[in-house]
Amino acid sequence: MQARPPSPAASVSALPPPAHRRLRRALSLLSALLAAATADRAVAFTATLDPAAPLTVYLQVGVGSFTNDYIYGGQPQNNTTINTVSVSVASSVLGNGTAQSMTTNSTAAQSYWDGYTFCSVPGQLYIGGFYRTTGAATAAAQVTATVPAALTDATGDSLPFSKIHWTSSGNGDSGAEPFPAGTFVNGGVQTVGSMASNTWNESCWTFTYLNNSVPPAGTFTGVVLYTLSAP
């Protein structure tokens, strides 16, 4: 006979004396009561998530400013530059109905999204932007152009803004443009594009002067104001 398992008698003799048993029982009861009391006080901690000011808008017509390309962590900046689109029409072709390509002094060829050369300057004007807002279903933001009644020269002669038309594209682009082709109205506010929420939108505009009338000689200018309106 070698090592033997403890007999029931041996187990009984190992129990504490009655006083110790009572103490242990009391401690167990106290522990259970403490646990119950703790469970009663158990509370979930609450943190309030507050989308304080998540509405963000950015519109760039011509040159703009980013700290870097977006994919490298760039952030949008303010840029107050006013770019021009212009054409000089030779007297030999003036009013002959052959549209004249316009050029811009904008140097914005690269998309600030990834640095890709999206537009070709000076023949195209970059327009792009985004608006960000919370919520699942959100109406698109609208981009409008506020157009004067006419372009004017120093002597008060005028040229209808509707003589200027634009097409829309982008290098390597396909599908519908967010800022489609159009023609200026003769005074008023016209919609020139829209942006779905939380998307990056960009197009390149190629302007032409219709050249189907003979205005007085002069330099005609006008300023169009582009506005992004988010819902």
* Binding region for another protein (CB under 8 A): 4-8, 31, 34-35, 38-39, 41-52, 54, 56, 58, 70, 73-76, 113, 130, 132-136, 196-200
Q: How far is CA 100 from the centre of its chain?
A: 34
C-beta closer to another protein: residue 18 or 135:
135
Pick between residue 116 and residue 226 the one whose CB is nearest to another protein. Answer: 116
Closest separation between CB of residue 123 and another protein, Å? 24
CA distance 56 to 77: 12
Pick between residue 43 and residue 154 the one whose CB is nearest to another protein: 43
Query: Closest Cα partner for 192 from 68, 203, 218, 222?
Result: 203
Q: Which is nearer to another protein, 81 or 199 (CB)?
A: 199
What is the nearest approach in angstroms of another protein to the Cβ of residue 44? Answer: 4
Angle at 32 between CA 28 and CA 36, to 5 degrees: 170
Phi, psi angle pair for 185, to nearest 5°: -85, 160
- Rounded CA separation 105/100 (Å): 17
- Minimum distance from CB of 201 to another protein (Å)? 8
Report d(CA 224, CA 231) in Å as an integer: 22
Structure tokens that stand for 81 in this block: 């530059």
| Closer residue to another protein, CB minimum distance, 47 or 90 | 47
Q: How far is the CB of 17 from another protein (least distance, A)?
A: 23
Instruction: State the nearest-atom distance from the C-beta of 18 to another protein, in Å.
Output: 23
